[in-house]
Amino acid sequence: MEASGTVADLHEHGLLRDTTTFVHANGISDEELRMLADADASLSISPDVELKVGFGSPVTGRALAAGLCPTLSIDDVPSVGGDMFSTMRTAFAVQRGLDGGLHTDDLTVFPVTDPVGTIVSGDHPGLVDTVLVVGRVVKRDGVLLGVDLPALRTRRTITLLEQQMSIWGRRWRSARPNRKLRGMPASRRSGP
């Protein structure tokens, strides 16, 4: 069966490149995934968002089978949070479900047979020791570097208080009687 779709069209016109990243590729065929792999293109999977908005099951296993090494993305922090461990757990759990669940010969959450699965299943961002961003260390020994957390917390608290005061101020102003109506006879305040 011949593949058809966006990836196949790009392939046909010689436009697939190693500099191209496809995101939310849930609807593409296995043949198109192989086309991406052959072109050294990359694929990013956002399992939490893809499941939440109904794009279908993430293509993690199919992408790996096609020869791709997909990356994981959060995509929409307000919608699903900014925790990559949660994103990894979603991808892990969905793929295990698609593969038929846990097999007794593959205890993916037991450190002896799969330490990566154990980390994905049980860890959280607070346990991350070191983080590099574009080669620059931004977290070392579990401590953020170059960030004044007390000042940041103070700024955030002030911002939240200002937002709350603004909301309550608008509510108070809208609940106050209109000053122009105070001197009017009651018969005229209600309008026509």
User: What integer is the mean pLDDT of 61-79?
Assistant: 92
Answer for the pair 30, 54: CB distance below 8 angstroms, yes or no: no
Q: Is the predicted pLDDT of residue 115 greater than 80, yes or no?
A: no
Helices (H) and strands (E) in the chain, counts: 10, 6
CA distance 88 to 120: 6
Tell me the two tokens of residue 48.
Answer: 């939490």
DSSP state of 19: T
Alpha-carbon distance values, 75 to 48, 54, 55 (Å): 9, 14, 13
User: What integer is the mean pLDDT of 133-160?
Assistant: 91
Q: Is the predicted pLDDT of residue 61 greater than 90, yes or no?
A: yes
128 three-state secondary structure: coil
Answer for the pair 30, 62: CB distance below 8 angstroms, yes or no: yes
Burial (CB count <10 Å: 0-12, 13-18, 19+), residue 184: exposed
User: What integer is the mean pLDDT of 141-164?
Assistant: 90
Cβ contacts of residue 152 below 8 Å, gap of 6+? none
Q: Is the predicted pLDDT of residue 96 greater than 80, yes or no?
A: yes
User: Between helices 115-122 and 84-98, what is the axis angle to 10°?
Assistant: 120
Q: What pLDDT sits at residue 169?
A: 78
Q: Give this prediction's pTM.
A: 0.64
